Chain A
Amino acid sequence: MSEGKETLVKDSIDRGTVDAARALESDKYAEGFVTDIEMELAPKGLSEDTVRYISAKKEEPEWMLQWRLEAFQRWREMTEPTWAMINYPKIDYQDAHYYAEPKGAAKYKTIDDVPKEILETYAKLGIPLKEQEVLLGVEGAMETAAAARETPRVAVDAVFDSVSVATTFRAELLRAGVIFMSISEAIREYPDLVKQYLGSVVPVTDNFFATLNSAVFSDGTFVYVPKGVRCPMELSTYFRMNAKGTGQFERTLIIVDEGAYVSYLEGCTAPMRDENQLHAAVVELVALADAEIKYSTVQNWWPGDSEGKGGIYNFVTKRGDCRGARSRISWTQVETGSAITWKYPSCILRGDDSSGEFYSIAVTNGRQQADTGTKMIHLGKNTKSRIISKGISAGKSNNTYRGLVSIHPKAAKARNFTQCDSLLIGQTCGAHTVPYVENRRSDAQLEHEATTTKLSDDQLFYARQRGIGEEEAVALLVNGFVRDVLQKLPMEFAVEAQKLLEVSLEGSVG
């Protein structure tokens, strides 16, 4: 297909898609560039010294170092899980750098201190780090302050390899009582809050990758929203892996106090490299009584090339604790990247009348493998959960939904609705659905629906006969398939997600 024609037909979908597609036409993975900047790396390998090195780099208090060391001791006794439907060569944990920071990163006090290479990186990715550039994904700053006030704003914490390089709108958020900073700073500035909540949702010993993260986590975001406060803007973290031969181990902790609300967005990208890089993150959410957390992810780590060379190994533990009565947590994820995705954002429905939601779109193409889903653990009375999962497989990829709905003995009248839909594009991909249900209550209401459909040549021909080009026809059909989940995303992310879907599936037919 010629470039001109590509652009031509892409216009038929909508303006946003067109512009996005144009921007991406040069390359399928536009985020795959490398930033050339002098880095400071931890020596290769993983030992107690590595843990001490990271802790010292972060100028952590002694208790934090001890916490890490205990995790490291535990990790050494653990074995890597093998139950997921993914295949990869054995990871050599000694063959990576566990810490990488741009030289002098510790000294950034304001945005003006951040090296221009890094600022350019984020500009290229469409992430505004200057507070006047308020709109995520929109070029150019707002012309006037008045216009800016009417525009939805997004505060950004930018994590570059192992360090947070900038966090925007901190002062303004703090006036509302909202703490939004890197976790490294929070450990120093709010040790009591961190001590109270860190590891309280995902225990240090939870699983192999979470324990590894507990020992070597580098940076991530800390959020605290005090009682009764509705966070005045969307918060977001943008994770960028840049350095070669490194892993990224981010740690995010979000605490929303009674009656408070926050919506948080997370985005991830990495350069195209031939090697596989490990990303093992832990995210913990705590919602106290009547609190609400909306957590959205658009994951676009480098997936490797079409033959499966390179790509990120994404082993992530994300869990939310609906600790108080009537609290609500919802996870929305759009997973298009990574060579391997191993990820189950879950909810512990501890408080009575609390509710958990999981909306997921997972796309695999080429040789990608995704094993993703959720766990809804119903502990309290009248707890509700809702799972909507859309898996799209193309190329030679494998896509598995794995989910657990667990109703405990005290969870009177618990309810769950699960819908798992799989869409297959082509003949050589796989889709699998592995739902587990554990029910200890006779009054529980559990519904499960699952469908598998193949995007058929007949459907494509039908759309093309009406004048819609092949790639656009795929995009249109896929957008239709995921529509109910896309609608759950904050607007700025929905546009990005839509364009990502299209780009991820380019060349998947024909």
Chain B
Amino acid sequence: MLELKNLHARVVPEDAPAREILKGLSLSVPTGEVHAIMGPNGSGKSTLSYVLTGKDGYEVTGGTATFDGADLLGLAPEVRAAMGLFLSFQYPLEIAGVPVMTFVRAAMNAQRKTRGEAEISAVDFLKLSKVAAAKLRIDPDMLKRPLNVGFSGGEKKRLEIYQMLMLEPRFMILDETDSGLDIDALKVVADGVNALRGPTRGMLVITHYQRLLDYIKPDRVHVLSGGRIIASGGPDLALKLEREGYDGVIAAGA
């Protein structure tokens, strides 16, 4: 269960004054559920994903964030990752000279070490990789190339989900995973994500559009605006947003 209570956070740029972005955000995502966060540009969606995963430059000024009862705030990003928190980035980073598989294996073993588990053998890793790549229709040769270097937007998103399948996180945050994907790629990616759905995992799907939610069906939908959740509901809420736009819902919620 991911539980956020009255979370306040600000972004602290190196060369500009700090700005408060999250202004009292409360949210509970029980284990086994998929929740969607929708909201207009600038509402704090990406900030939320960075605050949860511990990126530098974001400062929590109030409230709490716990994962299965453990306080997340103040933990190093790699420790949160080892606890099972995974962020599928809106803009995945390019890592020159480091092949995809080398990177993912380093990540997997680092997490295992932190959890006190044995490293994965090369053979087992390759087996897992083969299955994940096939599921996402990723050409195995692509996994030997440096991570994300020269890849298209769609390929990068596909590789995010590949990493997710490999690392088998307990809680997933998908930040605008649908952007840059055509409809066929969207289906493949959604199938990959759905494969990880289950009673032991939770998921937060951040998106602008209802479209992705046709493929990854949420249990709950929340509307984020001005750094707070202003409306929550079932899947219908997403459809309503699609019909009426954010303005109507925000006006009603405010």
Contacts and interface: CB of A to CB of B under 8 A. Distances in A.
Interface stretch (A28-36, A160-168, A203-211, A461-469): A461-469
B97 A466 contact: no
B95 A463 contact: yes
Given A466-B163, A467-B78, A476 B96 contact: no
A467 B95 contact: no
A9 B93 contact: no
Most buried by B among A13, A461, A466: A466
B85 to A, nearest CB: 8
Given A464-B76, A466-B163, A11 B95 contact: no
A410 to B, nearest CB: 39
Chain B interface size range: 35 or more
B152 interface: no
Contacts of B97: 479-484
Interface stretch (A180-188, A354-362, A452-460): A452-460
A470 interface: yes
Interface string A216-253: 00000000000000000000000000000000000000
Given A11-B119, A465-B53, A467-B82, A477 B95 contact: yes
A465 B77 contact: yes
B107 interface: yes
A467 B92 contact: no
Nearest to B49: A465
Given A461-B77, A468-B78, A480-B146, A12 B95 contact: no
Interface in B101-155: 102-104, 106-111, 113-114, 119, 146
Contacts of A466: 81, 103-104, 107, 110-111, 163, 167
Given A480-B96, A481-B96, A468 B107 contact: yes
Contact of A468 (B86, B110, B119): B110
A479 B98 contact: yes
Contacts of A8: 113-114
B87 interface: yes
Given A457-B56, A472-B106, A464 B78 contact: yes
Contact of B98 (A9, A458, A470, A476): A476
Contact of B81 (A457, A465, A482): A465
Interface core residue of B55, B57, B97 (most chain A CB under 10 Å)? B97
Given A9-B114, A459-B93, A459-B95, A467 B146 contact: no
Contact of A453 (B55, B96, B102): B96
B100 to A, nearest CB: 11
Nearest to A9: B110
B98 A12 contact: no
A484 B99 CA distance: 13
A476 B113 contact: no
B215 interface: no
Nearest to B87: A465
Contacts of A11: 109-110, 113, 119
A466 B78 CA distance: 7
Contacts of A469: 76, 78, 110
A464 B77 contact: yes
Contacts of A484: 97
A456 B14 CA distance: 14
B93 A467 contact: no
A505 to B, nearest CB: 15
A467 B55 contact: no
Contacts of B209: none
Contacts of B167: 466-467
B96 to A, nearest CB: 6
Contacts of B102: 476
Contact of B103 (A458, A461, A476): A476
Contacts of B86: 465
Contacts of A12: 106-107, 109-110, 113
Interface in A105-164: none
Nearest to A477: B95
Of A13, A461, A484, the most chain B CB neighbours within 10 A belong to A461
B89 interface: yes
A338 B113 CA distance: 35
A463 B89 CA distance: 12
Contacts of B55: 461, 465
20 contacts: A9-B113, A453-B96, A463-B103, A464-B76, A464-B77, A465-B53, A465-B86, A465-B89, A466-B107, A467-B81, A467-B82, A467-B108, A467-B110, A468-B107, A470-B78, A472-B110, A480-B95, A480-B96, A480-B98, A482-B97
Interface of A: 8-9, 11-13, 453, 456-459, 461-470, 472, 476-477, 479-484
Given A12-B107, A464-B81, A480-B95, 6 more contacts: A463-B107, A464-B78, A465-B53, A465-B80, A466-B167, A467-B108
Give the 6 A-B CB pairs with smallest separation, nearest first. Answer: A480-B97, A12-B110, A480-B98, A466-B107, A467-B111, A467-B81
